[in-house]
Amino acid sequence: MMPRWRVRALLLLIFLSALAFPGCVIRRRIITRRGSNPTPVLITADKQTLIDRLAAQYQAIQSFSATVDMTPAVGSSEKSKITEYKDVRGYILFRKPSDIRIIGLYPVVRNKAFDMVSTGHNFRLYLPSQNRFIVGTNDLATHSKNKIENLRPQHFLEAMMVAPVQPDEKTILVNLTDEDNAAYILQLVHVLPGGQILADRSIWFSRINLHIIRQFVYDKEGNILTDARYGDWQNYDNIPFPKTIDITRPQDDYAVVLTVVKIEINRGVPDDKFVLQQPEGSQLQVLGQPAPPAPPPVPPRKGKKKKKKNT
């Protein structure tokens, strides 16, 4: 066995050789991160800068009217089965503080697939193909086996309009910078009177441009309610807005990718755009209550028998 002093001497010799001939021992790598140049210049920011930037982004938008391409998907990665639907055209209208309406059209024929609206606590959803009109609250915890019934306008709203830090939220800043990532993560938590800390949201900022690139929204148990990813930020009406928003709702088993085709920001949206009345003859369903029975089929009308003429 080699004496300990000789081992130390050998290690010292290797180290000195590396300094004298770096090309023989040391291998340098260029760090490349997704969506960046080979050698991006990373921005350094503190927590308050990110909080102010988040608030400024939210306050800059009072309303918008957007035309989007939608790629809805049902299923989940946990269940190893996801089905996507391509080429769905959508129209999204928003007005502060919480008015939002979303209309989806079927591919090719462009007939209305769904129409839903929310002006705060409640929402309304119309499904023409099923002749159903669904009403409920945005915070309804019950999940339906019918994935379309889990749609909420509020899910889209919280993803498209990332809310600023609320007065009852505490913030923690994490710097996630490694070979694959260069992001600041703003953790938003809620402290209960007893001292228990609950995770509310996590908002990721790119260290290349400080744009928001991801947002997690959690439930009280720390499970992910919404996972939203943002990409290709562009200026629309001189206001930055992501061209693509990928929204995943793992507990509801659905997801949708929104790609902005056209958007008009702060040009106003009239009141009547947020009115959705139940169409006459449609079946009303109040979520949280049993669905009403389908109306019985209308029996075919019998024609009158013609009287035979006497000959």
In sign, the C-alpha dihedral spanning 40, 44, 47, 50 is: negative
What pLDDT score was predicted for residue 61?
Answer: 98
CB 150 within 8 A of CB 203: no
Tens of pLDDT, residue by residue over 25-42, are: 555 545 555 555 566 789
Question: End-to-end distance of the chain based on CA atoms, in angstroms?
Answer: 131
Tens of pLDDT, residue by residue over 184-203, are: 999 999 999 888 999 999 99
Distances (CA, A) of 306 to 153, 300, 301, 310: 57, 18, 15, 13
Domain coordinates of the chain in residue numbers? 47-286
The pLDDT averaged over each successive group of 10 residues in the chain (311 residues) is: 63 55 51 59 96 97 97 64 68 96 87 91 91 85 64 90 95 94 96 91 97 96 95 97 96 91 97 95 82 54 55 48
User: Is the entire prediction scored with pTM above 0.95?
Assistant: no
* H or E element in which residue 289 lies: none
Residue with tokens 């938003």: 188
Fold of 47-286: outer membrane lipoprotein receptor (LolB), chain A (2.50.20)
CB 169 within 8 A of CB 190: yes
CB under 8 Å to 231, separation ≥6 — which residues?
35, 213, 242, 243, 244, 246
Cis peptide before 97 (omega within 30 of 0): yes
What pLDDT score was predicted for residue 80?
Answer: 47
Tens of pLDDT, residue by residue over 64-94, are: 999 999 998 875 555 545 455 567 899 999 9
- Go through 8-17 and write b for each residue having 16 or more CB atoms within 10 A of its CB, e for each that does not: eeeeeeeeee
